[in-house]
Structure 1
Amino acid sequence: MASTTKRAWKLQEFVAHGGSVNCLALGHKSGRVMVTGGDDRKVNMWAVGKPNCVMSLSGHTTPIEAVRFGNAEELVVAGSLSGALKIWDLEAAKIMRTLTGHKSSIRSLDFHPYGDFVASGSLDTNIKLWDIRRKGCIFTYKGHTKCVNSLRFSPDGRWIASAGEDGILKLWDLTAGKMLTDFSHHDGPLTCLEFHPNEFLLATGSLDKTVKFWDLESFQLVSSSDGLCTGIRSICFHPDGLCLYAATQDTVKVYGWEPSYSYDSLTVGWGKVADVAIAQNQLIGATYMQTNVSIYIADIKRMQPVGGPPVQSQPNPSPPKTASGRRNFIVDRPPTQSTKQQKDKPKEEPPEEYPDDGADDQSCADIVDPDNYREVFQPRTRKLAPAVIPVSQPKPASVAPSVPSPVHVTAPADQPVTAAPVIQPATRPSTTRPTTSSTSQKAPTTAKPVIPASTRVSSAASNNVRHNEPTPLIPSDRQQPVNLNMDDFLPKQHQPSISHQPTPANISEQETLSSVIKGGDYMNKVLNSRHKNLQIVRALWTSGNTKTALDSALSMNDLPVIVDLVNVLNQKSGLWSLDLSTIVLPQLGDLLTSKYDNYVETSCSAIKVILRNFGSLIKATLTAPPSIGVDLSREERYNKCKQCYKSLMNIRSILEQKKPAGPQVRELQLLLSQLD
C-alpha cells in the first residue's frame, strides 16, 4: 500500500501474454479495466489491480498491433499486423464483426461517441471509417504520407483528428468526407492527441518533446510547452478540463495552455508508458516490456493545480485564464437525415478484397476468470431509455439509420454500404473570438436547436415505417370476438369483482352504451395498473438494482409485466447471472403452461439463454467432489446451482407433457439432456 506522503507508486506487474506485448489500452470511462494485445495473436482483458486475466479473445491469425475499448467499455476492437479488425462484445463474450480492407498493420483505433462506428489508422497511411452493423467500410480518408499513429473522434462526433508519423495533424469533416485543415508545427513524429472534454481545443504530443494546443475555432496554435522533457508518449485532459497530463519517459508533466505553463512534474519510473487514464483522482499509467505489463498510480490530489505543493522553479506564475471565450462542443446527438445518397458527394469505391484474418466462427471469447468477469460487468449501473421496456406486441421492422444512433438496428449482412455517414454538419466557426469573459454567454447564434433524442428517434422510426412498409391488410373478421379473457391481463390481487349477467336479446341502445362504457372503464383500469407496475419496475431498473426490479415484478404477480421484463433480459443476454436465473426459472416454468403463444416463446428463449450461459457451470458444480475445509463462496454457488437444477428438471417434466412437441420444445429438451 502506498504511503500517505507518496505521490506515485507501482501498483502491479504481471505476465500478460505468451509472446511479446505489442499494445495496450485502459478503459477511460472507469479506469479499472485494461486490454492488451501481443505476438501470441490474443487479446486479453484485465481488471486493474488484479493479476488474473478476466477474458481471452482469440481469432486473429497475425500479431495484435492496436486495441481500444468502446465508450461504455462493453466492446473491444483489435487491429492486427495483416490489417484486419475484430470487434468483440465483452458482456455477451462473443465476436461481433471481422472487418478487412487495410493493406498493412493497424496502428490506431477509436469508437464514435454515439453510434456503431469505428475509425482505424494504418501503416498504409489511410484512415477508414467502419459501420459495425453493416460490416462495411463507409469512407477512406487519404492524405497522410506516413503511418497514422493516433486518431480521435471529436466529442460531438462530427470530426476525426489524426496524428501521423509525418509530424502533421489533420482534421477531417465526417459529413463532407474531406479534410478541414492540417497543422504542421511539430518538428517530429506525432504520438498522441486528445480533444478537450468541453472546449473547441485539441492537444497533440510529439517525439519533439513538446505538447501543442490548437484552437478549433480559428485553427491557430494556442501555445506550446517548453520542451524540457523527453518525447511525449501519451496525454489526457483532466475530466473537468483544468489541465493536461503528459506522460513521458519515467515522468508525468502537468500543463496549462492559456498562458503556456508547467504546473507540476512528477517522476514515476514507468519507462515508455503506453496509455494513461484518470479515475477517482488518480492518474493510472500502463506500460509493457516483452511479455510483462506494469501498472503505476500517481495521486492527482498531490499534484498541481488540483493539490500538492507549488512548483519551486516558478514561484510567481501568472494566473491561468478561467474563461477562454472559446465555444463548447455540443455533445447532444445530432438529428438524423435521410439515408439516400446525395448527388454532390463523391461515391466511395467498394473496399478492396484482401485475405480475411480468420473467419468469425474461429473467433471466440473465453472467460478465464468468471468471478472477476461478473465483478467487472454486473455491478455497473445500467440506465435504460424510456422505451426500452417494451409492451408485448409485435414490432414493426426497423430501418437502419444513416448516422450513429442509440438504437441498435441490425442490417442484413450482404447489404451494400457505399454512402458516407450523413451527420449534421458543424457550423463553420468564426475566426474572431467573442469579447465576453463568461463562457455562459458565448453560445453561437447560428447553432441549430437540439431536438431531444427520444423525439428524434421515435419520429425517424415512424417515418421509416410509414414510407418503407407495405400497408397492412385489414382482416375481414376484425369485428369478431377473439376469445380473450380480460381477467388474464389484470394482477390477481387487483381484479375487481364483475358480475356476469345474461344479456337479453332485445337490449336497448342506452343499455348497450352503458355496457360499452363499463367495458372501457374496466380496460382503463387494466392499462393503468400495467402502466403503474411498469413505472415501478423501470425506476428500480434504471437505478441499477436489476435483481430488486426483478423481485418487484415477480411479487406483483402480473404476467404481462414479467414477460416484458424477461424480453428485455433476452435482448441483452449479458445481464443474466446465476442469481437472476434462480429467481426467474420457477416463473418461466409457469409461463410455459400459458395459453398465449408469445408468453411461451419468451419463456423458451429465456431458458435457452440460461442453459447456454450457465448449463455447463451448473453441471460442473453439482458433479464436482466436495471441497476440503470451509469455502463459503463455493457453498453459495453450489446452492444456487442446485436451485437452478431443480427448476430446470421441473421445466423438463412440463415439456414432456406438451403434445405435440414443436421445434422449440425439442430444442429445449435437447439442451436439458446435457445436464444428465
Structure 2
Amino acid sequence: MAASSTTKIAWRLQEFEAHFSSISCLALGKSSGRLLATGGEDCRVNIWAVSKANCIMSLTGHKNPVECIHFNVSEEQVVAGSQSGSIRVWDLEAAKILRTLMGHKANITSLGFHPFGDFLASSSMDTNIKVGVFSCGHTQAVRSLAFSPDGKWLASASDDCTVKLWDLAQGKTITEFKSHTAPVNIIQFHPNEYLLASGSSDRTIKLWDLEKFTMIGSLEGDTTPVRCICFSPDGSCLYSGATDSLRVFGWEPDRCFDAVSVGWGKVSDVAICNQQLIGVSHQLSNVSSYVVDLKRVKKSGGAVIQGIIQDNQPLTEPKKDPKGAALRKNYERPTTTCRSQRLKHRSESDRRSPEGERRSPSEDEADEKLSSAEIHNAEDYKAIFQPKNAISRTPPKMSEPFPAPPEDGESTSVSSSCGHGILQSPRLHPRSHPAPVTTAKSKPQLKIISSARNEPIGLNVADFLPVSARVSVFRFSQQSGALSDEEALTQMKKGHETMCVMLSSRLKNLQTVRGVWTRDGIKIALDTAISMSDPSIVVDILNIINPQSLWKLDVCMTVLPQLDKLLQSKYESYIQTGCTSLKLVMKHFWTLISDTLKATPSVGVDITREERHQKCRVCCKQLKNLSNIVKNKATQVGRHGSTFKELQLLMAPLDDSP
C-alpha cells in the first residue's frame, strides 16, 4: 500500500507544454495563488488555472518575445513587457487590450501595478524605471520592482548590487542600500511593518528597516542565488526560493526555521494559497508547478532567552516591547471598501508614451487590430473572470487546497490547446540542433508530462529530422489525421544513424575531458576541449564553470578567444553561454586587468608581476576584439539585440582603456 498523501511535504502538481516555442517568463496571481500567466518567444501571453493544464485564454499583440508578466492585485488585468521595451496591458474580464506603452529602449525586466492607483511601474535593461512620466535609474539593469503596501514608495533592485527606495510623491530617491555583493534579483515589502527584504545572487537575503534605513538582518543558508522571496501572510516569517530548495527564515535574531528540498529547478515565482506555497518554473516550452504544504513546514523556532535560543519552546508572535527592535511603524492603507482602480481604456493620457510621445489614432487602431485575447476554455473563463458579483470577488474562488498525489501514483494525462506539439516537447535539446520556432496557427493536442515520473525525458525526434520532413509530417497529420506506423518509422529513421554517431562521439569527448579535469585541473581540461574542435564540448564545459564561479585569469586567457565563435554562432544556446561567460569575465576580472595595466612598474625583477601583467595585456586585447563584435550585435532587434546591448554597457570601460 502506498503511504498516505498527508505524509508529503512537497510534490509536483503537473508539467505541461505551454507555448509554441521557449517560455521566457512566468507570473502567479498573488491574491489567489490560483492563476498563472506565461510569456514566450512566440510573442504570446497565455493564462492558466494553476490546477489545470487547459489554457484559458491567449493574448496577442506583442511583436517581440515577451520578457516579463505581472497581474494586478485583483487579478483582473495582466501587463506584459517585451524585448523591444514595449508594454501592453489586457483586461482579462473584458478579454481585450487596454493600452500600449512605449518608452523603454531595451527589454523589460520587471513590472508592478500600484496597489491603489491606476498606474504601473516598469524597469528595463536600459537601467531606467518608469512610473507614468516619472523616470529614474540605476547604473546597471534593474531586476525587480515593488510598491509599498500603502502605495507611497517604490523599491527597485539592480545588477549594480544596490536596492533603492523612491518617494513617488516627490519623485526622488529616499535612500540606497549597498550591502549586497552580487546582483539583487528580487525585493519584497513586509505586509504590515516598515520592513523590506531583498534576495541576491550572493545567496543572501537582507532585511532593511525603513524607519532607520539600516540593515537589521542578513539571512544566509541558500546554496544557490536567491530567486524568489515571499513573506508569510501574517509577516511572521520569510520564504526563500532557490534552485531545488525552499527555506523558511526568521529575523531578530536571524535564523533558518526549516529547509525543504523541492525539485522545481530554477523556480521563477511563488505564491501562498490555503496554507500551501505554490512554485512555478519553466524549461524550454514546458511549465512545471509545485506545491509545498506549509502546515508540515516549520515556521517558528526557539524563543530567545538571554541570548540563548531554546529550541523546545515555540516562537510566539513578537511582543511590541518599546525597548525591542521588533517595534516598527505599520503601513497606513487608504480606508476604502472598493477594489483597486482599474487602468482606463484609451484615455487621452494612454495615447502618450512614458517619454511624452503622442500616439496617433491610426496607431491606436492598428494596435487594436493586432492585439487580441482569444478565449480557449469558455467554461473556466466564465467561472473565473465573469462571476455574478464581480465587484466583491477574489478570482478565482477556489478554497480547496491542492491535493498531494499518492506516493506511487501517476497523474492523469490532460491535453493542452495553447502550446505546440505534434511530438512531446523535451526538457533538453542538444546544443548543436536548437528547436525551431514554429508559427503554425493550428492547435494540435499534446500530453501532459506525468508529475510522478522519475525517468529522464528523451530527446525530441522532430528536432533531428530534416526541415522538409518535419513540415511534411505536420501537413500530413493535419490532412489525414495520423501517420501509419510504417510511415512514422520511416520519418523517424531519417538522420537517426548520423545523430547516434554524433551523440556517441560527444559522450566520448566529454568523458575524456572529465578525466583530464580530474587529473590535471580545469585549465588543461579546457585546452583539451578546445583541441577537439567541437564547440558543443566547450559550451558544455562553460555551462559547468559559469554557475560555480570557477573562473581564474588563466581560464580567461583560454576561453576568451573561443567566445568570438560562440557570440557569432547561429545557435541560440551557444550565444547565450558566450554572453554569460563574457559578463562574468567583465564583472570579476576587468577591474583587476585595468588596475594591473595602469599600475606603475615596480623596481627590480618581479617575475610573478610580469607574468600577471602579460596575462592581463592578452586578456585586454581579446576583450577589445569581443567588444567590437558586441557593438555590431547590439544593433539587432529582439532578444539577442537586448542581451548584446546590456553587454555593450558592461564593456563600455574598454573604450577608455589604453
Pairing partner for 1:292 from 281, 286, 289: 286
Post-superposition CA distance 1:474-515 (Å, at most 9, x none): xxxxxxxxxxxxxxxxxxxxxxxxxxxxxxxxxxxxxxxxxx
Distance change (3 Å), C-alpha of 1:360 and 1:28: same
Cα distance change, pair 361–2 in 1 and its aligned pair in 2 (3 A): farther
Q: Which residue is 1:40 aligned to?
A: 42
Q: Say if 2:34 is the partner of 1:22.
A: no
Q: 2:135 corresponds to which letter in structure 1?
A: T
Measure, in 2, the Cα distance between the counterparts of 1:107 and 1:349. Answer: 16
Aligned: 1:371 with 2:373: no
Amino acid at match of 1:214: W
Cα distance, 1:317 vs. partner?
8.0
- Number of matched pairs: 363
- Once the two structures are superposed, residues 589-630 of structure 1 have per-residue CA deviations (whole angstroms, 9 ceiling, x without a partner) of xxxxxxxxxxxxxxxxxxxxxxxxxxxxxxxxxxxxxxxxxx
Letter in 1 for 2:144: S
Which residue type is aligned with residue 263 of structure 2? G
How far apart, in 2, do the equivalents of 1:189 and 1:2 lie? Answer: 42
Distance 2:218 2:382 in 1: 45
Q: 1:139 aligns with which of 110, 134, 137?
A: 134
C-alpha change, 1:314 and 1:64, in structure 2 (3 Å) is farther
Q: Which runs of 5+ in 1 are unaligned?
A: 131-137, 335-347, 385-540, 546-676
Aligned partners of 2:194, 2:153: CA distance in 1, in Å?
12
User: Counterpart of 1:150?
Assistant: 144
Q: Is the 8 Å Cα contact of residues 114 and 333 (structure 1) preserved in structure 2?
A: no
1:25-424 correspondence runs (5 A): 25-130=27-132, 138-142=133-137, 144-305=138-299, 315=311, 319=315, 321-323=318-320, 324-332=326-334, 350-351=355-356, 359-379=367-387, 382-383=390-391
Contact 2:150 2:334 in 1 (8 A): yes
**In structure 2, do the counterparts of structure 1 residues 359 and 232 end up closer, same or farther at CA, with 3 Å as the change threshold?**
same
Query: Cα gap change, 1:97/1:381 in structure 2, threshold over 3 Å: closer, same or farther?
Result: same
Give the conservation status (yes or no) of the 8 Å contact 2:301–2:315.
Answer: no
Q: CA deviation at 1:19?
A: 0.9
Q: Distance in 2 between matches of 1:188 and 1:316?
A: 36
CA deviation after TM superposition for structure 1 residue 362, in Å: 1.2
Residues 113-147 of structure 1 show CA distances to partners (whole Å, capped at 9, x for unaligned) of: 002111000000000013xxxxxxx21112x0111
Look up the SS of the partner of 1:330 in the other structure. Answer: coil
Q: For residue 235 of structure 1, give the secondary structure of its aligned residue in structure 2.
A: strand
SS across alignment from 2:380: helix
DSSP-derived class of the 1:265 partner: strand
Structure 2 CA distance for partners of 1:23 and 1:354, relative to 1, 3 Å: farther
Whether the aligned pair in 2 keeps the contact of 1:170 and 1:182 (CA below 8 Å) is yes
Secondary structure of residue in 2 paired with 1:225: strand
Q: What does residue 423 of structure 1 align with?
A: none
The residue identity in structure 2 corresponding to 1:295 is S
Alpha-carbon separation, structure 2, partners of 1:354 and 1:13: 41
Q: What is the alpha-carbon distance in structure 1 between the residues aligned to residue 136 and residue 229 of structure 2?
A: 24
Q: CA RMSD, aligned part only? A: 2.9
Q: Distance in 1 between matches of 2:354 and 2:78?
A: 27
Query: Residue deviations 1:376-422, cap 9 Å, x none?
Result: 224586446xxxxxxxxxxxxxxxxxxxxxxxxxxxxxxxxxxxxxx
User: 2-side partners of 1:211 and 1:316: how far apart?
Assistant: 26
1:634 is aligned to none
Runs of 4+ residues over 3 Å off in structure 1: 313-323, 348-358, 378-384
| CA deviations over 1:126-171 (Å, ceiling 9, x no partner) | 00013xxxxxxx21112x0111100011000001000001110000
- Contact in 2 for aligned 1:200/1:216 (Cα 8 Å): yes
Alignment partner of 1:4: what SS?
Answer: helix
Partner-residue secondary structure (3-state), 1:365: strand
Match for 2:264: what amino acid?
W
Measured after TM superposition, the shift of residue 228 of structure 1 is 4.4
Q: Displacement, 1:109? A: 0.2
- Equivalent position amino acid for 1:6 in 2: K
Q: Does the residue aligned with 1:66 lie in a helix, a strand or coil? A: strand
> How big is the shift at 1:226?
2.3
Paired residue type of 1:141: C
TM-score w.r.t. the length of structure 2 is: 0.52
Residues 290, 331 of structure 1: alpha-carbon distance in 2 compared, 3 angstrom cutoff = same
How far has the Cα of 1:270 moved from its partner? 0.3
Tell me how far apart the structure 2 counterparts of residues 146 and 67 of structure 1 sit (CA, whole Å).
21
1:181, 1:379 → 2: CA distance?
43
- Superposed displacement of residue 230, structure 1: 1.4
The alpha carbon displacement at 1:325 in A equals 1.1
Q: For residues 537-590 of structure 1, what are the alpha-carbon distances to aligned partners after superposition, in whole Å with 9 as ceiling and x for unaligned?
A: xxxx99x99xxxxxxxxxxxxxxxxxxxxxxxxxxxxxxxxxxxxxxxxxxxxx
The structure 2 residue matched to 1:3, chosen from 2, 5, 24, is 5
Q: Contact conserved, 1:193 with 1:202, CA < 8 A, in 2?
A: yes
SS of residue matched to 2:379: helix
Distance 1:190-1:240 versus aligned 2 partners, 3 A rule: same
- Whether contact under 8 Å (2:257, 2:301) holds in the other structure is no
Deviation string for 1:318-352 (max 9, x for gaps)? 95744321000001169xxxxxxxxxxxxx99435
| CA separation of 1:99 and 1:301: change in aligned 2, threshold 3 A | same
**Larger Rg belongs to:** 1
Q: Deviations over 1:231-254 (max 9, x none)?
A: 100011101111000001100000
User: What percent of counterpart residues are identical?
Assistant: 50
Structure 1 contact 152–162 (Cα < 8 Å) conserved: yes
Alignment of 1:560-571 (within 5 A): none
Greater relative contact order (CA < 8 Å, ≥ 6 in sequence) = 2
TM-score (norm 1): 0.51
The amino acid that maps onto 1:166 is: D
